[in-house]
Chains A and B, each alone.
Chain A
Amino acid sequence: MIQFDNVNKRYESGQDALGRVSLEIDRAEMVFLTGHSGAGKSTLLKLLTAIERPTRGNIIVGGQNLNRLRNSQIPYYRRNLGIVFQNHQLLFDRSVFDNVALPLSVSGCSRREVGRRARAALDKVGLLHKEKQNPIVLSGGEQQRVGIARAVVNKPALLVADEPTGNLDPKLSEEIMGLFRQFNAVGTTVLIASHDLELIARMRQRVLTLQQGQLIYDGYPSREPAY
């Protein structure tokens, strides 16, 4: 599903954010990406979401080489991607429903289809009863669930989350992780960047650890320690 082949990213400032990273993530895998801040987690996610382009190396997602992606194709590439942000990036000028429906209206779904799928996604995260509210009145955990509903409403093959539990207490984090696990269980490839090592350990999933732009660990921490 995801293949990084000797990927290097050097920012214009001359700083090497990623150096020669190679990795492979299979379809329907659930993988955690960890490392200290500045280790290159965000850069890796930005490359994956086509926000940035690699300086060297190839990134292949779902059979598509991102280097060959023209700027005009990026929107279409992103429609097959679910992105969850740490600060959920919800729009407070519209209802929960409209937030979740955004990717659908962007990709040109019919109104009926939008209603059906947005409600299904909201139902999945347990917030269907709040569809008419403004997300600003929701709690942090609920806002993040709306963000997740928005990320999965397109039924993406790949779900990418950047510190999705960053601002949440352990119980809510557990809930959110439960959601990701559910999506993974139905075949979605899930990549979660997080520095909550305790939570990651409990999840017993594959972990990738970055340090100073290098991939220093790739394995299952339940069997061997991450550090």
Chain B
Amino acid sequence: MMDTRAVNQRTKPAANPPERSRAAGAVTARTGVGDRFSSWTNHHREMWRESWARFFASPMSSGMTALVIAIALALPAALQLGLTNFQKAVAGWDGQPQISVFLHKRARENAVQSFADDLRGDPLVAGVTYISPEQALAEFQQSSGLGDALLGMDSNPLPAVLLVRPRGSDTTSLETLATRLRDSAMTDSVVLDMAWVQRLAQLTELGQRMSMGLALLLALGVLLVVVNSIRLHIENRRDEILVVKLVGATDAFVRRPFLYTGLVYGLVGGLIAWLLVSGGVWLLAGPISGLANLYGSGFRLDGPGFTYLIGLAGGAALLGLTGAWLAVARHISVIQPR
């Protein structure tokens, strides 16, 4: 800051009238640090209020910008939510492959039981379920509707089955266990059904990555939308920027309203995005629970909860702020008094 105090002291004529020295003295009236800080926070508060006022002063254009942001964010958010729900729906099976051990028809019941007990003691095994031929038959009759066909047979064609749940899910330990089960004298065949588990995991991973990529791409889109809107704001307020720069506004002061405007765009966009996703869930919840009932599952669609609200609003606000920064950094320094 210009140090006029010293100059004042030096050049002030001795016979100054009191009026005169007051005016000269006022030049050097500095605001204290505390005052400065409170005026700084005041300006922030003011800009926060003003950017909301500006947002609602032109509801059409601001609303459209916010809606574009909202749609761009709702897409990846909905995809992510869908994936989370899908994972929840398949939870219970996923990652827990099951080994079905079909035993020889001639294996005696008590030998099978002791084999099952042995397996239960195996460190690689988490649990064993024994299904006797009779149980298997009953289950088959119930679920296949082919009961009558089986009634015509004089003996039960189904073997006893041991359902082995392995402790680990890594391929090598599963293969070791499967080989050991296969080697048992009582075993007819071993079915290690891992392929679908792997497929499911891969599909989920694919979905995750796609939603990630989409989110990145659309976040970039949001950024560009904000940059463009803020650029227009800056153009519209060009005269004001010139005047405040001439009366001594720092760059930070000039930037502030635009940064808040970007923040408000993002925040509103994020809130609308959350509403869009919630609306989508509300629309789909009925049919999905109906579908789940038909499959005998109690699955219910999870809505975007509080975490989504915070995540979407916060993330969008951050994007808005970043976009505004980019716009401001590019366009405000160009506007200089001529």
Binding site for B on A (CB under 8 A): 1, 26-28, 49, 51, 61-64, 72-73, 75-81, 83, 89, 91, 93, 102-103, 105-111, 150, 154-157, 185-188
Contact = CB atoms under 8 A, between A and B. Distances in A.
Interface of B: 1-4, 6-8, 11-12, 16, 19-24, 26-27, 29, 31, 35-36, 38-40, 42-43, 239-240, 242-251, 253, 336-338
28 contacts: A26-B11, A28-B24, A51-B337, A51-B338, A62-B2, A62-B3, A63-B2, A75-B248, A75-B251, A78-B246, A80-B2, A89-B242, A89-B243, A91-B240, A93-B240, A102-B244, A102-B247, A103-B247, A106-B253, A108-B31, A108-B40, A111-B42, A150-B247, A154-B247, A157-B8, A186-B19, A186-B20, A187-B19
A75 B245 contact: yes
Contacts of A93: 240
A119 B40 CA distance: 22
Contact of A155 (B29, B38, B42, B242): B29
B1 A77 contact: yes
Contacts of A185: 20
A3 B21 CA distance: 22
Nearest to B336: A51
Nearest to B30: A107
A154 B31 CA distance: 12
B249 A75 contact: yes
Main SS of the interface on chain A? loop
A76 B249 contact: no
Nearest to B38: A110
A110 B35 contact: yes
A89 B243 CA distance: 7
Nearest to A73: B1
B299 to A, nearest CB: 56
A103 B244 CA distance: 7
Contacts of A1: 7, 11
For the complex of A and B, the 7 pairs showing the least CB-CB separation, nearest first, are A79-B248, A155-B26, A108-B39, A78-B248, A103-B247, A186-B23, A76-B1
Contacts of A150: 247
A107 B24 contact: no
A49 B16 CA distance: 28
A105 B43 contact: yes
B239 A106 contact: no
A4 to B, nearest CB: 17
B258 to A, nearest CB: 16
Contacts of A109: 31, 35, 39
Contacts of B2: 61-64, 76-77, 80
A63 B10 CA distance: 11
A111 B24 CA distance: 23
Best-surrounded residue of B12, B23, B245, B253 (most CB of chain A within 10 A): B23
Contacts of B251: 72, 75
